[in-house]
């Protein structure tokens, strides 16, 4: 927190008066206050999102269809109102993004097709090992698997399954909207793009601690195991949040992070221990290693901003005095 009021703030640098940011020219608040407004706004969004899950009092577990339906309602209301928080932040800080609010939040048509396909492809490459493991353990062959995937009945079943809708549609869409599309534009002028990539996921990771409440409530495991699981989930969600924040900044679109989030929810955390004991361990581990290697090799080329047009967050930083953001090129 001390760094929020320090000399390293990017929002209002006074070391070079000839390049004062536009927010200063507009008579906005000082740098420390601007950053506190940003942090408080993000914290309010995170608390509102998690709090909306507990508006409904119920003795039923979280996976019960009735509970899921009620939470759909409250989460969708909070998510649809979340852009108002960004609007209020803009008014309080006096920062003018130079683009519309929805463009800043990743709702735009320019470069939408590569923004939808390339990040998802990159994520699937990272999960090459788990995908191989899934295909090895699947009793059906590729042709039968494709028939099942493309069958209208399969999709109809999915669309009536409350857990599937939550994990593959509602959670990815609302979480990326709140924790990436709304929070990153507020954090980036204060911290810069690089630190924002790692700061934003902290709100996302902490927001998942609410699962502890339900696990303790229904005594699903020992207290030690529950807290150990929560610590692991925080670490995993924080790393994943940093990745989708990186995708959001580099592509300037919300659709890529949403699709990657949905895919990762489907795949779950890679079953590395099962892979080590798998009958076809060697090719499987080679697939894991190859996937990670290709991911690191292709991360920069497949997220090159030139593929996606003008990046709204980079335009925002240029207007606030930071024209050399490393993630913008």
- pLDDT per residue, tens digit, the chain (329 aa), is 444 444 443 433 334 444 444 443 334 555 667 889 999 999 999 989 988 888 888 788 888 999 999 999 999 999 999 999 999 999 988 888 888 999 999 999 999 999 999 999 999 999 999 999 998 888 777 677 777 777 888 888 898 999 999 999 999 999 999 999 999 999 998 888 999 999 888 887 776 666 666 666 666 667 677 778 777 878 888 899 999 999 999 999 999 999 999 999 999 999 999 999 999 999 999 999 999 999 999 999 999 999 999 899 998 888 777 666 788 88
Picking from 260, 263, 247, the residue whose alpha carbon sits closest to that of residue 307 is 247
Instruction: Considering the candidates 64, 208, 211, 278, report the single residue annotated as catalytic.
Output: 208
Considering the entire predicted model, what is its pTM? 0.85
- CA quadruple 206, 208, 210, 216: dihedral sign: negative
Alpha-carbon distance of 188 to 21, in angstroms, equals 14
22 is catalytic: no
Determine the length of the chain: 329
214 is catalytic: no
CA angle 206, 266, 108 (to 5 degrees): 75
Task: Tell me the angle at which helices 223-251 and 112-126 cross, rounded to the nearest 10 degrees.
Answer: 140
Quote the pLDDT of residue 164: 95
Instruction: Considering the candidates 18, 22, 64, 175, report the single residue annotated as catalytic.
Output: 175
Q: Among all chains, which residue has been given the structure tokens 């229904």?
A: 218
């Amino acid at each position: 927190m001390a760094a929020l009021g320090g000399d390293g703030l990017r929002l209002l640098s006074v070391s070079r008066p000839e390049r004062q940011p536009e927010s200063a020219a507009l008579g906005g608040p000082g740098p420390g206050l601007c950053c506190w407004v940003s942090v408080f706004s993000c914290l309010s969004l995170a608390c509102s999102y998690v709090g909306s899950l507990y508006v409904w009092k119920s003795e039923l577990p979280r996976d019960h269809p009735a509970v899921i339906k009620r939470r759909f309602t409250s989460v969708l209301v909070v998510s649809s109102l979340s852009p108002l928080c960004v609007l209020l932040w803009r008014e309080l800080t006096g920062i003018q993004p130079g683009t519309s609010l929805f463009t800043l939040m990743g709702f735009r048509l320019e470069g939408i097709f590569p923004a939808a396909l390339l990040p998802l492809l990159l994520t699937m490459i990272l999960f090459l090992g788990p995908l191989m493991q899934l295909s090895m353990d699947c009793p059906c062959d590729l042709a039968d698997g494709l028939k099942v995937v493309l069958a209208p009945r399969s999709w109809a079943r999915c669309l009536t399954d409350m857990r599937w809708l939550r994990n593959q549609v509602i959670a990815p869409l609302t979480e990326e909207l709140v924790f990436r599309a709304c929070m990153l534009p507020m954090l980036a002028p204060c911290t810069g793009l690089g630190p924002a990539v790692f700061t934003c996921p902290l709100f996302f990771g902490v927001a998942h601690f609410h699962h502890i409440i339900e696990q303790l409530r229904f005594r699903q495991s020992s207290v030690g195991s529950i807290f150990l699981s929560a610590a692991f989930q925080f670490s995993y969600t924080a790393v994943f949040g940093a990745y989708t924040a990186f995708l959001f900044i580099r592509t300037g679109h919300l659709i890529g992070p949403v699709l990657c989030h949905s895919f990762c929810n489907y795949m779950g955390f890679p079953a590395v221990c099962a892979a080590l004991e798998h009958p076809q361990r060697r090719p499987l581990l080679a697939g894991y290693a190859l996937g990670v290697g290709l991911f690191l090799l292709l991360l920069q080329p497949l997220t090159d901003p030139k593929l996606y047009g003008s990046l709204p967050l980079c335009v925002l930083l240029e207007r606030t005095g930071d024209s050399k953001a490393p993630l913008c090129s």
